[in-house]
Amino acid sequence: MKFYRLSLLLLLIGFTAKAQDDGTFTKIGDAVPAFSFETAKGKSVNIADYKGKLILINLFATWCPPCNIELPLAQTQIWDKHKSDANFAFFVFGREEGWDKLIPYKAKKGFTFPILPDLNRSIFKKFASISIPRNILIDEQGKIIYQSIGYSTEEFKQLTELIDNHLAKLAKAK
């Protein structure tokens, strides 16, 4: 009887753990996974090339309603504010979307930040298996210091404050 109860308990714990899985592969404090990406058609770089900068990665899709709420705010509250800061890099990756969709989308929306293809989810799969939008903030040492899934006003405010504060500290240190 004890064996039966223990087996049932372990089974329930397993189901509960699986039910709470948000599909995230990375956690705060992890090193950013290694990957390369195109910054323009035919021009590739490696994420490690940006070590020493605060890097914001946004994973989105053009068809995603929460993404289309978040990205205009990222333009005005993050990119417009920090695009000239040499300590900051911002990359938006279109999950399962190529240049053919992203270039017209960017023009239509009036975005000036880099929107880059992740046609086969090769970048997305480094961080997660499901759910967009996602934001990943990486410090100058290459460590993940913030992650979010979905869009909420509170989370976005937390992200912008973290970026502002971190860049202010980097500016003072130099």
φ/ψ region of 66 (left if φ > 0, alpha if ψ in -120 to 50, else beta) reads: alpha
User: How far is 125 from 129, CA to CA, in rounded Å?
Assistant: 6
According to the 3-state scheme, what is the secondary structure of the chain?
CHHHHHHHHHHHHHHHHHHCCCCECCCCCCECCCCEEEEECCEEEEHHHHCCCEEEEEEECCCCHHHHHHHHHHHHHHHHHHCCCCCEEEEEEEECCCHHHHHHHHHHHCCCCCEEEECCCCCHHHHECCCCCEEEEECCCCEEEEEEECCCHHHHHHHHHHHHHHHHHHHHHC
For 90-135, the pLDDT digits (tens) are 999 999 999 999 999 999 999 999 999 999 999 999 998 888 999 9
9 has a pLDDT exceeding 70: no
Backbone angles phi and psi of 56, in degrees to 5? -110, 125
For 39-77, the pLDDT digits (tens) are 988 899 999 999 999 999 999 999 999 999 999 999 999
Which amino acid would we find at residue 143?
A: K
Residue recorded with tokens 């240190």: 173
- Contact, 74 vs 58, CB < 8 A? yes
**Residue 10, exposed/middle/buried by CB under 10 A (0-12, 13-18, 19+)?**
exposed
Backbone angles phi and psi of 4, in degrees to 5? -60, -45
Q: Residue 6's pLDDT band (boundaries 50, 70, 90)?
A: very low
Q: Residue 21's pLDDT band (boundaries 50, 70, 90)?
A: low
2 has a pLDDT exceeding 80: no
pTM: 0.86
The class (CATH top level) of 25-173 is: alpha beta
Average pLDDT for 26-32: 93
pLDDT number for residue 26: 87
